[in-house]
A and B are shown apart, each in its own frame.
Chain A
Amino acid sequence: MTDLFNPLTGTVLDEDTLCSFGDLCRLCGVPADLVLEMIDEGLLCPQGTTPGEWRFTAIEIKRVQTTVHLQRDLRVNLPGCALALQLLEELEELRRLRRIR
């Protein structure tokens, strides 16, 4: 199955990545409602004022995907996901700082 001559090239989700409301739902396979609830919960802070103008970052794409996994696999509700995500992001930062020292 390996194609050594035509390596795959993907899209890098980097600090410039911005996706629309619709893109976010499609990318993560989630209904618009979940995104709205996540905004209410403070998990997502899109740039732009109206839903049509909303733009989400790469970190927010990951947050939605992790939320989906946590809800599906561990039956965590949204406030629980918010807490877990906050702690996970803090933990990642602490691990990074520990590696540097």
Chain B
Amino acid sequence: MEYRDYYEILGVDRDATQDAIKQAYRRLARKYHPDVSKETEAEKKFKDLGEAYEVLKDPEKRAAYDKFGSNWQTGQDFEPPPNWDAGFEFKGAGYTGGTDHDYSDFFESLFGRTGYTGGATRRSTFQMKGEDQHAKIVIRLAEAYHGSQQNITLTRATVEENGRVTTRPHNLQVTIPKGIIEGQRIRLEGQGMPGMGGAPAGDLYLEIAFAEDPMFHAEKRDIHLELPITPWEAALGATITVPTLGGRVQLKIPAGSQGGKKLRLKGRGLSTATKKGDQIVTLRIVVPEAKTQEQKKWYRKMAEIMPVNPRNTPGF
């Protein structure tokens, strides 16, 4: 079993007042709340905070915990000395509050777990639907375009025969349907936390996020691509091969196109059977550098035979 330094988790000194502990918890809980935070591992940090606070907010538990001394470090192999909890009354009484968090082995072996440790009579009558679980899954745009199968690993609490709860990695393979878009969620019924006393399990919600793509980006159902073209392709028109998530297609650039012009490839975005997304191609004109005398001559000649004032608008 690994020791956990609850003071370190809350970022307070060992002699912090109860008020200071409460304030530290509230500040960090806001910072790492999984619905609010973009920090990586926010969910884990939030759980750790809850566990640390569960112990330190209760003077009795805190005093028992303090008896281990200050020489332990998080992650160090730890066994509580025999009768470490003699003289304290929390044993078996469970939590002072809180819902069905999954606490660490360290916590549970010291302070037990309500809802599970209450004995057979309680277990047989106590029913509670499992918590819903929320997770984010990052997929590539091509996987959203075509649909895909994703392997995901979640930490899952399971209730064993003896009522003890253990957490272990839980692997799932999930079908991501074609045409899913960023921010949408997939609900997997009964794949959340297990229920208690025969009650059904909670649901699992997977929120879709897209990995950064070097070429495309998605805006809702539309896929955007910037297409570099030459001035003569823009001026004279051209048919250009452009990549889409579904393969290459021919795109006709009309004569007289300007930089920034947007062309739409219908149905080439993130589409489902009933909803269509398009690919929007934005033209970017690449101006060739005039390096040699001859090249400069051609630019000068262009200036002569097709004079233009691109700043012919009020304000310039």
Please state if B29 and A8 are interface contacts (CB–CB under 8 Å).
no
Please state if B171 and A1 are interface contacts (CB–CB under 8 Å).
yes
Asked if A83 is at the interface of the complex by the 8 Å CB criterion, the answer is: no
Q: Which residues of A contact B167 (CB under 8 A)?
A: none
Q: Which residues of A contact B187 (CB under 8 A)?
A: 10-13, 27
- 8 contacting pairs across A/B (C-beta < 8 A): A8-B188, A9-B174, A10-B175, A12-B180, A13-B185, A14-B275, A16-B274, A96-B182
CA distance A12 to B29 in the complex (A): 30
Q: How many residues of B contact A (CB 8 A)?
A: 45
Q: Which residues of B contact A84 (CB under 8 A)?
A: 36
Q: Which residues of B contact A99 (CB under 8 A)?
A: 212, 217
Q: Measured between C-beta atoms, what is the minimum distance from A49 to chain B in Å?
A: 27
Supposing A10-B189, A73-B29 touch, asked if A58 and B184 sit within 8 A by C-beta, the answer is yes
Supposing A10-B189, A10-B206 touch, asked if A2 and B275 sit within 8 A by C-beta, the answer is no
Q: Which residues of A contact B149 (CB under 8 A)?
A: 7
Please state if B219 and A12 are interface contacts (CB–CB under 8 Å).
no
Supposing A8-B175, A10-B206 touch, asked if A100 and B186 sit within 8 A by C-beta, the answer is no
Q: Which residues of B contact A (CB under 8 A)?
A: 26, 29-30, 33-36, 38, 46, 50, 99, 129, 132, 134, 149, 151, 170-175, 177, 180-189, 191, 203-206, 212, 217, 219, 224, 272, 274-275
Q: Which residues of A contact B30 (CB under 8 A)?
A: 74
Q: Which residues of B contact A3 (CB under 8 A)?
A: 173
Contact with B along A1-29 (1 / 0, CB 8 A): 11110011111111110000000000101
Asked if A88 is at the interface of the complex by the 8 Å CB criterion, the answer is: yes
CA distance A33 to B180 in the complex (A): 33
Please state if A8 and B177 are interface contacts (CB–CB under 8 Å).
no
Q: Which residues of A contact B29 (CB under 8 A)?
A: 73-74
Q: Which residues of A contact B184 (CB under 8 A)?
A: 12-14, 58
Please state if A8 and B185 are interface contacts (CB–CB under 8 Å).
no
Please state if A29 and B132 are interface contacts (CB–CB under 8 Å).
yes
CA distance A81 to B181 in the complex (A): 26
CA distance A11 to B188 in the complex (A): 7
Q: Which residues of A contact B (CB under 8 A)?
A: 1-4, 7-16, 27, 29, 58, 62, 65-66, 69-70, 72-74, 84, 88, 92, 95-96, 99-100
**Nearest residue, chain B, Cβ from A73:** B33
CA distance A16 to B180 in the complex (A): 12
Please state if A70 and B172 are interface contacts (CB–CB under 8 Å).
no
B26, B35, B188, B275: which contacts A88 (Cβ < 8 A)? Answer: B35
Q: Which residues of A contact B35 (CB under 8 A)?
A: 66, 69-70, 88
**Nearest residue, chain A, Cβ from B156:** A1
Most B CB atoms within 10 A — which of A11, A16, A88, A95?
A11
Supposing A11-B186, A12-B180 touch, asked if A100 and B219 sit within 8 A by C-beta, the answer is yes
Q: Which residues of A contact B26 (CB under 8 A)?
A: 74
Please state if B151 and A12 are interface contacts (CB–CB under 8 Å).
no
Q: Which residues of A contact B189 (CB under 8 A)?
A: 10-11
**Nearest residue, chain B, Cβ from A85:** B35
**Nearest residue, chain B, Cβ from A67:** B35
Please state if A74 and B33 are interface contacts (CB–CB under 8 Å).
yes
Q: Measured between C-beta atoms, what is the minimum distance from A6 to chain B in Å?
A: 8
Please state if A10 and B188 are interface contacts (CB–CB under 8 Å).
yes
**Nearest residue, chain A, Cβ from B170:** A1
Q: Which residues of A contact B204 (CB under 8 A)?
A: 10
Q: Measured between C-beta atoms, what is the minimum distance from B297 to chain A in Å?
A: 38
Q: Which residues of A contact B34 (CB under 8 A)?
A: 69
Please state if B173 and A9 are interface contacts (CB–CB under 8 Å).
no
CA distance A95 to B46 in the complex (A): 23
Most A CB atoms within 10 A — which of B177, B187, B204, B272?
B187
**Nearest residue, chain A, Cβ from B224:** A100
Q: Which residues of B contact A65 (CB under 8 A)?
A: 132, 134, 205
Please state if A8 and B275 are interface contacts (CB–CB under 8 Å).
no
